[in-house]
């Protein structure tokens, strides 16, 4: 499962002619996502054209030089907001990919059927010390696991170090499993993240990145790692778990359905 986006550069610009509307951008490496905010109720053609023009102009911003710019919008689980759909069409963004936000209550019951099918695994906390070997081992396993993913399969020392330096990082919630047949390699990992409560949301425990080395796929390790991550989050007193998954990843969706997750929201990314 992919991570939620880790942002290297962020900013915002107003949309001329549309009161209160602005484009917020976030760049990660060669890709940049732009979100539209404050344009609800401005679906008339002139407003749509103004936002599309602002998006085109933003693509030339110095912060986004050389980046592949996409438009991202958050939608409810079962319908789409019309404004970003109209802007995407006007801007010539013909393709899209959907990232589903799934949630389930915590804790997972001890008699949940998934526990009977999951193999016993020895998880341990990730060691962030550069000399320990976990950093390079995780990058290798992660990039093998996500070799076909548009964002997640290109981790480097620099991108991992940036995430480990984030204020939310907690090594006790970054669970890894050593590969018994390959010393120095990881069989898989489950990286969790805690989101504090806000005015609109309860505190959430996220399955941030979960990956199984291709050599271990089909072993049931993925189920065991998700359960380990959920148990860790429940042990922190959190009552709701969240994760993000590509809408066309049917094996992952089937796994999360068996674990009791349901679709809470949809993030659509519009691309050329």
User: How would you classify residue 233: left for phi > 0, otherwise alpha for psi between -120 and 50, otherwise beta?
Assistant: alpha
Q: Of 199, 180, 222, 204, which is closest to residue 265 (Cα–Cα)?
A: 204
Q: Which of 79, 99, 119 is the last residue of a domain?
A: 99
3-state secondary structure of 54: helix
Residue 2 DSSP one-character state: P
How many alpha carbons lie under 13 Å from residue 120 in its C-beta half-sphere?
0
Residues 89 and 114 in one domain: no
Residues 176 and 198 in one domain: yes
CB atoms inside a 10 Å sphere around CB 255: 18
How many domains would you assign to the chain? Answer: 2
Residues 157 and 125 in one domain: yes
Residues 172 and 116 in one domain: yes
List the 240-246 sheet strands across, edge first: 9-14, 22-28, 31-37, 68-76, 262-271, 95-105, 240-246, 204-212, 186-195, 174-178, 124-125
pTM to 2 decimal places: 0.83
Is 265 domain-assigned?
Answer: no
Is 255 domain-assigned?
Answer: no
* Alpha carbons 87 and 65: distance in angstroms, whole number: 22
Residues 60 and 80 in one domain: yes
Contact 37/24 with Cβ under 8 angstroms? yes
* Alpha carbons 181 and 82: distance in angstroms, whole number: 52
Residues 121 and 227 in one domain: yes
Residues 79 and 140 in one domain: no
Residues 66 and 117 in one domain: no
* Alpha carbons 110 and 82: distance in angstroms, whole number: 43
Per-residue tens of pLDDT for the chain, all 272 residues: 444 444 467 899 999 989 889 999 998 878 899 999 888 777 889 999 999 999 999 988 999 988 889 999 888 888 888 989 999 999 999 878 899 999 999 999 999 999 998 999 999 999 999 989 999 999 999 999 988 766 676 889 998 999 999 999 999 999 999 999 999 999 999 999 999 999 999 999 999 999 999 988 888 999 999 999 999 999 999 999 999 999 998 989 999 999 999 999 999 999 88
Q: Of 199, 270, 269, which is closest to residue 5 (Cα–Cα)?
A: 269
Full residue range of the structural domain in which residue 198 is found: 107-238
Residues 197 and 118 in one domain: yes
Q: Which two tokens stand for residue 239?
A: 């009552």
Is 271 domain-assigned?
Answer: no
Is 151 domain-assigned?
Answer: yes
Residues 75 and 192 in one domain: no
Residues 70 and 140 in one domain: no
Residues, the chain: 272
Residue 137 DSSP one-character state: H
Is 199 domain-assigned?
Answer: yes
Q: Which of 71, 99, 127 is the last residue of a domain?
A: 99
Is 248 domain-assigned?
Answer: no
Residues 112 and 221 in one domain: yes
């Amino acid at each position: 499962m992919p991570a939620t986006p880790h942002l290297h550069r962020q900013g915002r610009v107003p949309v001329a002619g549309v009161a209160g509307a602005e484009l917020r951008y976030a760049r990660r490496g060669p890709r940049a996502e732009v979100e539209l905010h404050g344009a609800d109720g401005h679906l008339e053609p002139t407003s749509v054209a103004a936002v599309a023009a602002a998006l085109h102009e933003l693509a030339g911003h110095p912060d986004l030089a050389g980046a592949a710019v996409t438009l991202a919008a958050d939608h409810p689980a079962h319908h789409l907001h019309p404004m970003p759909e109209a802007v995407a069409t006007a801007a010539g963004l013909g393709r899209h990919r959907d990232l589903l936000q799934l949630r389930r209550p915590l804790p997972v019951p001890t008699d949940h059927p998934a526990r009977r099918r999951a193999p016993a695994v020895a998880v341990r906390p990730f060691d962030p010390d550069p000399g320990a070997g976990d950093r390079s081992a995780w990058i290798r396993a992660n990039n093998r696991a996500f070799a076909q993913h548009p964002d997640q399969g290109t981790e480097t020392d620099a991108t991992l170090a940036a995430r480990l330096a984030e204020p939310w990082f907690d090594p006790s919630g970054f669970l890894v499993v050593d590969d018994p047949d390959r010393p120095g390699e990881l069989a898989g990992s489950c990286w969790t993240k805690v989101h504090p409560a806000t005015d609109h949301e309860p505190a959430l425990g996220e399955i941030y990145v979960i990956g199984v080395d291709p050599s271990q796929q089909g072993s049931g390790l993925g189920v065991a790692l998700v359960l380990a991550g959920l148990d860790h989050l429940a042990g922190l007193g959190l009552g709701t778990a969240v994760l993000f998954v590509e809408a066309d990843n049917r094996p992952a969706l089937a796994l999360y359905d068996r674990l009791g997750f349901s679709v809470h929201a949809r993030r659509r990314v519009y691309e050329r």
